[in-house]
Structure 1
């Protein structure tokens, strides 16, 4: 494994952050013709097939007994709850706001690690980063409460709770036997369980499913399952195998930046000064928290 990032790794991380930021836009565009939870379920189903194909090509054995079934099922249920909340939340708020709230997840992880992962103590920089991000969230959420756009705060809150479930999934992986298995198997637990749970939840909620298919709707869905769940996930696995994850994680602050810009560019969302202020605080918080100790 290389100890530093070369130009190719840096270029790939910037590309993946762009993809992960734009996916919020793709979700909103696809939601004009596909119900949100049903959309999330379809994505998990196709992504499961893609990752299984990757494990076959790489000869990664994901079916051996290793005592990870129960924590794997828990991680899958948390993952399903996360995406149900995100996809529903984006029906009530903008993609640019949603991506900022979503990327508070690393700070929920850091906070939970204080109790669940005592072997990973919080550094002062991490506390400072968390304070910056929390300030950004308070400012943005406060704007949603007083905004004339009715119900925007509901979407903000749902996505913020979804970020909490994302953090809970990460902590489950770190604090259980899942930490000892391959990243591919861990991801398959999450995708496989959500591929079963989300379509069932969609039926319970009475969603119409695919109700207004159009070329734009299907293109947005194709982007999610092929580019996001296929290209970016497989590319991430490759990067983690060849470069230090701590170095790669420093790029995470770029994703909300890309998401905010994509919302304004592709959806014409109004980017207020408050949005940019919150983005700056959350992005700075992520960067400060991920600086090498």
Structure 2
């Protein structure tokens, strides 16, 4: 199947610029979710986010006259991607109740490691050279050092952060699995809005059903902060940034894009320091250098 897929190219200036903007936006997301968690249940918040974004994507596709209903062999992969996407955000939103936003931002972005491995094994056009694997390893060492730095910061409620940290890593694995499904199936040739709609619609049904069954809607308090948070998560992140992400996946090598997103935990921790007063030390500065060095190696041209 992979031999018939359109070829992707290495990153250029446009891709790098868009990835930096996306990484800044995604880095802020953990802080936004954490700030509004006391006002709206985690799973309900995630479900509303997906539902609002799904409506926006559907409207965008209708405006662009993107065919959504033709039989193109994407249904199975689309449903699987949607379930993985929903499970990922279940882990993120629930996990943030047991760990800090800074730590979640770091653990979630183990995803590029899993993505690079999955694509290397399943998609011929995504093979990594030895030097690029060295970059992955270097970036992973940076993330491990950032993890060690985060251990010194206790959870806000004084308990162990292990459950939240584990959910963060699981979310990263699920994100990677979603990327591999998209890249290695017929979704790779589908319109980005159709691919995204699969994920948002399926995850909305999944997460809202779980939230309603748990009675989270009975305790939600909707105020200006919640509305602003949902706008940011739904319109800017789940709609605009994800459409951009899937467009990038169609144009450029996914393994290079995924490893480049190591920048996101750096922004996430920075926002945690500025907005939530998380403490970081010299170890994190060293971790940042290792991560950036890994990105340079992975994106180095032949």
Q: CA distance change for structure 1 residues 225 and 141 in 2, over 3 Å: closer, same or farther?
A: same
Q: How big is each residue's C-alpha offset from its partner over 1:31-64, in whole Å with a ceiling of 9 and x where there is no partner?
A: 1211111111100000101111111121111111
Q: Distance in 2 between matches of 1:93 and 1:213?
A: 24
TM-score (norm 2): 0.83
Q: Distance in 2 between matches of 1:286 and 1:101?
A: 17
Q: How big is each residue's C-alpha offset from its partner over 1:11-38, in whole Å with a ceiling of 9 and x where there is no partner?
A: 5544333212111111111212111111
Moved more, 266-275 or 86-95: 266-275
* Kept after mapping to 2: 8 A contact 1:108/1:167: yes
Moved more, 62-71 or 211-220: 211-220
Equivalent in 25, 28, 44 of residue 19 of structure 1? 25
* Kept after mapping to 1: 8 A contact 2:11/2:299: no
Aligned twin of 1:45:
51
Moved more, 58-67 or 226-235: 226-235
Aligned twin of 1:155:
164
Q: Distance in 1 between matches of 2:45 and 2:127?
A: 38
Q: CA distance change for structure 1 residues 280 and 218 in 2, over 3 Å: closer, same or farther?
A: farther
Q: CA distance change for structure 1 residues 120 and 41 in 2, over 3 Å: closer, same or farther?
A: same
Taking only aligned residues, the RMSD between alpha carbons, in angstroms, comes to 2.9
Moved more, 25-34 or 225-234: 225-234
Q: CA distance change for structure 1 residues 10 and 33 in 2, over 3 Å: closer, same or farther?
A: same
* Kept after mapping to 1: 8 A contact 2:10/2:301: no
Q: Distance in 2 between matches of 1:238 and 1:30?
A: 30
SS at match of 2:33: helix
Q: Distance in 1 between matches of 2:147 and 2:19?
A: 29
Aligned twin of 2:274:
265
* Kept after mapping to 2: 8 A contact 1:144/1:153: no
Aligned twin of 1:165:
174
* Kept after mapping to 2: 8 A contact 1:246/1:290: no
Q: Distance in 2 between matches of 1:217 and 1:161?
A: 26
TM-score (norm 1): 0.86
Do structure 1's residue 245 and structure 2's residue 252 form an aligned pair?
Answer: yes
Q: How big is each residue's C-alpha offset from its partner over 1:75-106, in whole Å with a ceiling of 9 and x where there is no partner?
A: 11111111100111122222222112222212
